[in-house]
Amino acid sequence: MAVDNDGIAVVTLQRPPVNSLNLDLLQAMNNTFDDVAKNKSKGMILTSASPTVFSAGLDIMEMYKPDPKRLETFWVTLQDMWLKLFGASFPTAAAINGHAPAGGCLIATSCEYRVMLSGKFTIGLNETALGIVPPTWIQDSLRHTIPTRQAEIALTTGKMFTVDEALKWRTNRGAEGAARLGPPVLEGPQMPPRSPDQILNKTLKMCLSPKMALDTGIIKLNALNEYLVTERTTIVDNAITFGIKKCNDMDINIQKRGRRKVGLIDETAADKAEAIEKCKKFIKRFDKIPSLARGMTKQIFRQEVLQKLLTNRQADTKQFLDLVNQPKIQQSLELYLAMLKQKSQK
């Protein structure tokens, strides 16, 4: 842990090669979180010493052929880590400088703010894809971060989000919808882009002109009718071109407005230093807010989710121990470890 001049603690996970969460690392995290609270730090930023992995999640070796007592301590220590981090009264942020699967995503979603490095990294709760049901409090951490519907889909599919997906969520509207209609007809002498309103107003003006004979007006209206029907694709394309041009003129970023944010991460950064700076900026937002009021408001806001685990702690531990001790799960862990080893040796 390093505390800067502003009193913000930067806590770096340092368990090579992938910061997998074993008992020792979880205990060290708990002690550090206690220190941050005791020192009355202004806030805490979590990051990783690895250039490519924030955290690979739970250390599978803790669950494979486990010692029963250690396994129980391991799970209770993970629960403690989450209760301390999710329930911390001080501001928390994650500078996610690499992959953050499963437990890595849990750490990130327990913080209040997330900045992830742009690049080929992924983040998400992949447990379902591994045949494991994520416990309620782990699901709650995600549901607390992104909209419920997206959280349900992400959890049930074991979705690992790319950095771009974690920031945004695709929609049919906006620029992507426009792209689906094909390239818009660009401005040219024959068909300058006009809004549908402009076209109709011009036609109406012509028809209402006292110089226009009734039969000519009818012919023109019929021609307009035919034009609207046969050229509807071009008209839509022109309307889109017109809209895009207007947005550009008004400096509105249609790319951003056309996509809804899923919000699993709040911002991206080019490198770790920038990610930490952005996290600091978030924490400094609270400079003028009384810290007691802030902390209590956060805890009240998170209380329901925290209380659920506090009330069901023993049952949650028993469920985990029963699951891990199943021969079928032990078999899957063995296969998964072998697969990871094989991949790392390539």
Q: How does 317-346 read in b/e, with b if 16+ C-beta sit within 10 Å? A: beebeeebeeeebeeebeeeeeeeeeeeee
Using rule CB under 6 A, residue 140 touches ligand LTMAUQNL: no
Q: Which of residues 111-130 bind ligand LTMAUQNL (CB under 6 A)?
A: 126-127, 130
Query: Any contact of residue 158 with ligand LTMAUQNL (CB under 6 A)?
Result: no
Is residue 17 at the binding interface for ligand LTMAUQNL, with CB under 6 A as the rule?
A: yes
Smallest distance from ligand LTMAUQNL to CB 51, Å: 9
Q: Residues 37, 132, 191, 247: which binds ligand LTMAUQNL (CB under 6 A)?
A: 132
Q: Counting contacts by CB under 6 A, is residue 99 touching ligand LTMAUQNL?
A: yes
Contacts by 197-204 with C-beta closer than 8 Å and gap 24+? 199/235
Decide: residue 96, CB within 10 A, 0-12 exposed, 13-18 middle, 19+ buried. buried
C-alpha radius of gyration, the chain, whole number: 28
Longest dimension (CA), the chain: 97
236-269 burial, b for 16+ CB within 10 Å, e for fewer? bbbbbbbbbeebeeeeeeeeeebbeebebbbebb
Determine the Cα–Cα distance for residues 115 and 10; give it in Å rounded to an integer: 14
Minimal distance in Å, beta carbon 62 to ligand LTMAUQNL? 8
Options 91, 103, 124, 158; binder of ligand LTMAUQNL; rule CB under 6 A: 103
Give whichever of 10 and 26 is closer to ligand LTMAUQNL, judged by the CB atom. 26
Which residue number, 109 or 238, has a Cβ lying nearer to ligand LTMAUQNL? 109
Q: How far is the CB of 40 from ligand LTMAUQNL (least distance, A)?
A: 31
Is 23 a binding residue for ligand LTMAUQNL by CB under 6 A? The answer is no
Q: Which is nearer to ligand LTMAUQNL, 89 or 319 (CB)?
A: 319
Percent of the chain that is helix, strand, coil (3-state, to 5):
55, 10, 30
Kindly tell me which residue out of 65, 69, 120, 343 binds ligand LTMAUQNL, with binding defined by CB under 6 A: 343
**What is the rounded distance in angstroms from the CA atom of residue 148 to the CA atom of residue 128?**
17
Alpha-carbon span 266 to 275, nearest angstrom: 11
Binding characters for ligand LTMAUQNL, 36-65, by CB under 6 A (x = yes): ----------------xx--xxxxxx-x--
Is residue 17 reached through a cis peptide bond, with omega within 30 degrees of 0 on the bond before it?
A: yes
Residues binding ligand LTMAUQNL: number (CB under 6 A): 30
Q: Which is nearer to ligand LTMAUQNL, 75 or 90 (CB)?
A: 75
Q: Are strands 113-117 and 8-13 parallel, antiparallel or unpaired?
A: unpaired
User: By Cβ distance, which residue is nearest to ligand LTMAUQNL?
Assistant: 57
Phi then psi for 114, rounded to 5 degrees? -135, 125
Do 94 and 114 meet the contact criterion of CB atoms below 8 Å apart? yes
Residue ranges in contact with ligand LTMAUQNL by CB under 6 A: 17-18, 20, 52-53, 56-61, 63, 99, 101-103, 126-127, 130, 132, 134, 138, 320, 323-324, 333, 340-341, 343-344
